[in-house]
Structure formats: C-alpha cells, structure tokens
Amino acid sequence: MLHVGLDLSSQSDLTSIAIVQAAPAKTILAWLREAKAGQRMLYAEGAHLPRGAEAVELVPQLEELGVVRAFQQRDPVDQSRWLYLIEKRPGPVAGTPAGAGLGHSRAGSPPPPASRRVTQATLSKLMTLLRRAAERGDVCPSDAQLARSLKLRRRDQAQYLLRRLAREGSIVVERFGRTDRRVVTIVKQGRAQGLSTGMGRAQ
C-alpha cells in the first residue's frame, strides 16, 4: 500500500513503496483531515499516472479548491518511474468552514468541486489567450499575467488550468531552459492549431 505522509528525504522509505498504482480516494480524504500545512502524501506511483483511478479524479478537484498542491518527481530508486504527490495547503477547504464535513459523504466520494461552468468558461478564455499568442508568435504569458487576464485570485490557479488543458490534449507545454518562457503548442482543433508561442526569457 502507499505510505501516507511519506518522508521523501529518506531513501529507505522510498525503497519500501509497494507496487501500487494509486491510493483510494477515502485514504486521501482521511489524510487530508489530519494533515498539517506543508505535509506531503504520495498518492500514486508508476511509469505514468493511472487514468481513471479514484485518486487521479480526486486530486485535480482538491487542487481546484485550493486544498492541495499536486506535483510529481522521478523515483530516485528507479528513474523510469514517477512519484505523484500532493502537499497540504494552509487554510480550510474553500467554501467549507475549517474543513467541516470533508469526506463525510459516502465512502470514497470527493468533496464537491468548484463550479464546473465557471471552470469551463475560464478554460475557454485561456485557450483564446493561448491561441492569440501562438498566432502572433508572442511569448506565452506568465502565470501572473494569465491570472490577471482571467481574473483569478492566485497565479497557481493559472498553472492548474494550463495543466488541465495539457491533460485534455488541447495543448503541449515545453520548457527549454530554467530562464526561458515555456512554449505552448496548440493541439486542439480550431484557430492556431499546430502553432506555438514564441520563445523568450522569463521576467
């Protein structure tokens, strides 16, 4: 089983991870109720993220609510594998005072996501911004610029929406250096399909 609250600085802990694709949603929710800000949980591991798994469906919703930050890193023991992690953010679940009731619906049910209508509308606006930049050959806007254009509260929300578009196969995001702006290629049908944003230095 996956080790909740695994200390990633300990190689002995890493070598003890069993070959399991993803944790159950109820395990993530139970951890979330007890975890402190900054604590991390390994929720999936393998050569790729297991599509359709409970955890894979739940984590983007938690990230959208601002409850966790999701990220991945290479398994230091086996470089062909990935470790998929979440980090607890400070504060209660958005719209839920002090996180009350989190995970108290039927077992394994995720907390209610933010409005899907708003998210889809924001994703459409983001695609329009990216298509326009690709058509003009402009550099991809920074997270802060995207957040301002989309009227988002935090720039990490813009990062999340970019990852959503990439997971859906609408765009491909590449980086060519630590100081270079990311390059976004439009894959989705429509304006600017096959075009990429320009390369430039990050501000």
CATH number at residue 150: 1.10.10
Start-end of H helices in 65-191:
116-136, 143-149, 155-167
Residue 106 domain flag? no
Provide the 3-class DSSP secondary structure of residue 112: coil
Q: Examine the domain organization and report whether 77 and 47 are in the same domain.
A: yes
Contact 176, 182 (CB under 8 A): no
In degrees, rounded to 5, the angle at the alpha carbon of residue 164 between the alpha carbons of residues 174 and 184 is 25
Residues 66 and 121 in one domain: no
Q: What pLDDT score was predicted for residue 10?
A: 41
Number of compact structural domains in the chain: 2
pLDDT of residue 133: 95
Q: How far is CA 82 from CA 5, 33, 182, 189, in A?
A: 17, 26, 22, 30
Residues 6 or more apart in contact with residue 45 via CB below 8 angstroms: 2, 17, 20, 21, 75, 81, 82, 83, 84
- Same-domain status, 20 and 95: yes
Together in a domain, 56 and 130: no
pLDDT reported for residue 66: 79
So what's the pLDDT on residue 201?
Answer: 52
| Residue spans of the chain under pLDDT 70 | 1-20, 51, 92-118, 176-180, 200-203
Residue 171 lies in a domain: yes
Give the pLDDT of residue 154.
84
199 in a structural domain:
no
Q: Same structural domain for residues 16 and 87?
A: yes
For residues 51 and 121, membership in a common domain is answered with no
Q: Is residue 125 part of a domain?
A: yes
Q: Show the domain range for 68.
A: 11-99
What pairs with residue 191 in β-bridges?
A: none
Is-above-0.85 flag for pTM? no
Per the CB < 8 A criterion, the answer to whether 180 and 199 are in contact is yes
Same domain as 143, residue 84? no
Same domain, 66 and 142: no
Looking at the DSSP bridge assignments, the partners of residue 139 are 198
Residue 50 domain flag: yes
